[in-house]
Amino acid sequence: MPQFLGIEWIDIFSSVERKKTYLGMVAHATLTYPIGNMLLVVPLFLLFPFHWFLLVLLYIALVYYDRKTPSRGGYGLDFIRKWKINQWYAGYFPAKVHKTAELPKDKNYILAYHPHGIISMGGWVNFASNGSGIMEMYPGITFNLCTLGMNFKIPIRREILLLFGCIDCSKESIEYALGPKNKGRAIVLVIGGAAESLDAHPGRHELTLINRKGFVREALLTGAQLVPVYSFGENDVFEQAANPPGSRLRKWQEALKKSMGISLPVVKARGFLQYSIGWLPFRRPINTVIGAPIHVKKTENPTKEQINELHEEYVKRLTELFEEHKERFGVSKETKLTLK
C-alpha cells in the first residue's frame, strides 16, 4: 500500500470488486453509526432552510405514533435488507455464514450470538442485512437482530434499525416476537453485551456467559428453540487497547458501564482513505457458524433448576460447536473457549 507522511493510504488502483466492498463498508458506516445518521438529514435542512422547525415537529409526531414498534416485532423490509450494497459490505471482510442444520419454519428460535466483539459487525451483516445470503439459506425464517432500547431513541438511527429488522432486546419485546401467533421467527441476541466487548481482543475467545441466563429463561417461557452461534473473527476486526482487569483503563470502563449501561472500548482501526487511524474495521474474515437447535419445551413458570439445566446444555453445545470448527477458521488446536 502507498505510504506518505508515515500514513498508509488506500490503493486507488485496486480492482473494481475491492472498491465495491469498500463502498459497502462506507455505506454501512453512514447508515448505522450515529454520526453518519445525522449526515443523512443535512440535505433536508439545506433544501428546506425555512421549514426545519416543521420537519422536526413532524418527526416527533411520527416517533410518538410509532413509539411501541421496536418492542412489537418491528417492521423490517426485505428489499432493503437485500440491497446489493449489503453484499458488498459482507465482501469487505469477507463475512460468511456457515449452516450446520436446518431451522424448520414451523418453530421459533433464539439465536445466541457470540462473541460480542467491539460492535458485533458479523451480527449486523449476517442477520440485520442479507449480506451473506442468510434468507436464502433458511427460507421461511424471519431474523430480527436485538439491540438496546436506547438505540431506538436516537433520531434517524431508530428508523434505520427498524427497516433492517432490528427490535428492542427487552424481555417484553422478545416475548412478543416469539409469541404463539408467530412462527418462523428467529431473534438474534448478542449475549455478552457491553461487558464482553471489553474482552474483545484479536485472537482471544473469552465469553461473558456463566451468569447470563436470561436468554435461557426466555426460551423456556416462549418454547423457542435455542441455537448456539459463534463468529470466528468477530474479535479480530478491531484492535483494542490493553485493558487487563484491575488496570486504570479497565476500572474507568467498568465504572462507565455500571453507570450508563454501555462500555467504551479504546480501539485502533482504519480510516476512510487510509489504514493508519480511524474507526472503520479492518479487512479480516468473519465466519459465523450457526449450530443445530436445542429442543426446548415451553414452560410457563420455569424453575431455577430448569433454567440451570438448559443453560448447562447450551454451554456444552456451544463449546462443542467451537471445538468442531475452530481449526477450520484459523484457531489453534490448543485454544480453548474461556467462559466468565
Cβ partners under 8 Å of residue 84, min gap 6: none
pLDDT at residue 2, as a whole number: 65
- Give the mean pLDDT of 70-95: 94
* For residues 45-53, average pLDDT: 71
Q: Quick check: 1 pLDDT over 60?
A: no
Rounded Cα–Cα distance for residues 201 and 83 (Å): 31
Q: What is the β-pairing status of strands 109-114 and 7-8? A: unpaired
Average pLDDT taken over every residue of the chain: 90
The better pLDDT of the pair 37, 75 is held by 75
The larger pLDDT score, comparing residue 195 to residue 296, is at 296
Question: pTM score, two decimals?
Answer: 0.91
pLDDT, position 211:
93
Q: Which pLDDT score is estimated for 202?
A: 95
**Three-state SS letters, the chain:** CCEECCEEECCCCCCHHHHHHHHHHHHHHHHHCHHHHHHHHHHHHHHCCCCHHHHHHHHHHHHHHCCCHHHCCCCCCHHHHCCHHHHHHHHHCCEEEEECCCCCCCCCEEEEEECCCCCCHHHHHHHHCCCCCHHHHCCCCEEEEEECHHHHHCCCHHHHHHHCCCEECCHHHHHHHCCCCCCCEEEEEECCHHHHHCCCCCCCCEECCCCCCHHHHHHHHHCCEEEEEEEECHHHCCEECCCCCCCHHHHHHHHHHHHHCCCCCCEECECCCECCCCCECCCCCEEEEECCCECCCCCCCCCHHHHHHHHHHHHHHHHHHHHHHCHHHCCCCCCCCEEC
Average pLDDT of span 292-301: 95
The pLDDT value recorded for residue 53 is 77
Residue-wise over 221-259: b if at least 16 C-beta within 10 A, else e? Answer: bbbbbbbbbbbbbbbbbbbbeebeeeeebbeebbeebee
* Mean pLDDT, rounded, for 43-54: 71
* pLDDT at 232 exceeding the cut of 60: yes
Q: What is the pLDDT of residues 172-209, one digit of tens each?
A: 999 999 998 889 999 999 999 888 999 999 999 999 99
Examine the pLDDT at 20 and tell me if it is beyond 70.
yes
pLDDT of the residue at 44: 66
Banded model confidence at residue 3, pLDDT cuts 50, 70, 90: low
* Residue 122 Cα distances to 131, 232, 278, angstroms: 10, 9, 19
Instruction: Using a pLDDT cut of 90, give the percent of the chain over it.
Output: 67
What are residue 286's DSSP bridge partners?
95
